[in-house]
Structure 1
Amino acid sequence: MTRFGQWIKNINSTGINNDKLKFINFIAVSDSDDSYLKKEWKSKAKKLRLIYIIFIFSVVLISFFPLFLPPNEQTKWTQSFLNIGINIFVFVVLILDYFLRWITYPIRAGKFSSMPLLFFPLTGVSLLMIISLLPTTFSVFAKFIDENDPFVKLINVFSIVKIIRLLLLLKVIPTFDIFSTIFAKNKFLLINVFIFVFIMAVIFSLLIYSVEGGTKWISVEEYATLNGIDIDKIPPDIIKNGKIEVPINNKILNFGDALYFTFVTITTIGYGDITPTTSLGRVVVIIDAILGIIIFAIPSGIITGSFIVEIQEKYKNKKNIQKQKEIEKLSFAERFYINMKSKTINLVHKNHEHKSSEIKKIIIENNASQDQNNIIYEKLANKLEQTNIRNYSINNKKIEIDVLNIEEIDENFFKLIELLELKWKIN
């Protein structure tokens, strides 16, 4: 195996245990959760994360400069050596940024993916970052394209795609972090809704094009009235048997026009630049608009409802954490009194003077490595009251945890064991 292959294998197998990779991951992905970092590294990591965010934001913003120029100046700037040099710099920065997200992916993938580095290029974030790199790649070759080529202007317009990379920075802001969580939880339903909207738009576009597209024959007098000209000024070559062929709707001349009009209608924007001219066309538009209101209410309701739930959940968790911290500051006598009133004293105070015969041993069989079992134990221990753990031992095939009172174990502890598909028993 080559050194590079061995390096990849090492990252895949030990990435989730590597504190340095966790440190880089926190900075590179603009993570808002610092719970997995070493305590002494958290302050430094937050400062570096802020610097990294500002740096990436500035680099991408600089690449938008051509869009602020007049259209006639954009082509000259796009083909200048200075612009090409800037785009090469932006390209290198974004490639390194992509590489940092790639090598830290095992941290985010966790233990459930055996070779996370192989699968990162197929993830949604990876594909979005690659798309945001394309405009910069095209700009590097703009010097070799004819300045009258429409592709040069397309490069400038397409450069706005790099805003995708800026959107990935917003995760550090709590509100946008909540939105990303909402979309992640409801992505299946939202994707299906938008697929249905697109299919419906195509169908209605075909209907609109069939009734509003094409041509019709009108009299010479009607043609003169519609165009505000004298009959004798009408070109004779367009007159056939005393009639003139004109578009049914001169704003819908192809399917693209019909598709644009349908999307404007279905989203209830209604610019008014295109309007139906036939009675049947108006009926189609009415149905289209009503269905648009109904369908777009679904994702709006999902997002709004989920946003409220997420806010309430975060507030509840924050309040519970704060309450727990306040309880920990109380003396045992104060906690004893509080819990006597709520009849939950056994959840706060554990008697360490149990007889050895009462101690139960939870044996968890697992063929994982020592390091992997250490991580599994940490996750399981979080579901146990620390005062209920008398002793524990870990080897390559087994985790043994001695608990003082088996009845006081949170049921989520056993749910986590089942989720991790571990074999276990109690002695």
Structure 2
Amino acid sequence: MNARLTKYKILVIFLILVSLASCNKPTYPTGKIEESVLKLCKDEYKLDDVKIKILGSTLGVYIPVEGLVTPDLKLNEKAGKKIENVALSIHRVITSTDMPLKFYILTARDTKTTGAEFILTGFVYDVIRVRLFDISRGEYFQRILRDFRFNPAMLGEQKVKELFNALNQNTSMAKNLKPIFYPIYAIGKKDSQKIEITDIESKELSDRESLLYVKTTEEYEASPGFEAYLTVFPPGFKNEYLILIDMSSFISPVKEVVSKYFYSNNEIRERNLKDTFEQYKDFGMIGIDGFPKKDMDLGWFLSQQLSRRIKSLFEEDKKLKNNFKATSSQGEIKDRMFQFKFNIMSNNNQTMDEKIIFSRIIKMTGTVLHLYAFEEYKSVEFINAALGEKKVYLSKEDLERFRKNEIKIDSLL
């Protein structure tokens, strides 16, 4: 099937939907999406704690769940049923509306365990295609993104609040950290300091790290000899901090604290912490409120889907599973280039193994992008960390040629 035929099939599906919509009014019209999902959840499944937010072409759905995970960190069966019921409600609405939604993201968050969340991300046209039997259910399930994780931004906020509580309560944990919080502990009487958090902004730097921009109001009594500082820092003055939290370090997750004010060359100076904070990229997709931080795009969605398919390819195919071990796989798209970095090693160290690894991955990638008729990229790079960072680079045109067996793997290695 060539790219033109694939696009034709998608166009046919679209025309079918348009013709149906033109003959009948949509069951769930634009402007009533939120109301419709909420009503289905409440009427059909007795769920009245669901929240909805639409961001561009992305439908965000949030549900709090008591006891999302079991003690051995598996999805609780009752929670799984609740997630399934909400997902069914979403599917009913997005397949019977005239609103041009492209993605849905369902976030189920544990109300007991801070940061524990299960995220379901789907492409609306995949739901439509499986219902029209244009793709198999097995293929459909491979197209859904499922993530169970501990939200690093939420955990970071929790640790920041614990840190300031420790400072205010003068615990042993905070004793060595006090000098970092300038100037209140440098100029104030012992035990007179009180810091109140007024605002926190957070960014996810990785699946375990978060950067937090914290605003505070600070009270203190000046120590003898430091009364002059009261003109610059009157009780109740405003301060700011940048705090880096790394949850991979359970004993000491607070990795760095930077204060707005600092003393240098006999004068008090200021850092522009807000500007520094804005320079960091936020890799998180789900906010503290449980909703998407931004409208989803197909390039990002495919980068995540393909990275998971790469790993599952070597875990689910019996022959590949016996001969190879896949420990990780990550994907991203940047400047219209897909990059997939994985760690797949051979159990036998055969000469042909490198060819097998790359050829299977490249062929699968080309096939998936072809089936989505995705054209908004210019190249793809594959990197196997298990082979000394071995790289294979293909232009979009060469990837399509490889998919058609017009290029052999030997010419790429």
- TM-score tier (shorter): under 0.3
TM-score (norm 2): 0.24
- Structure number with the higher helix fraction is 1
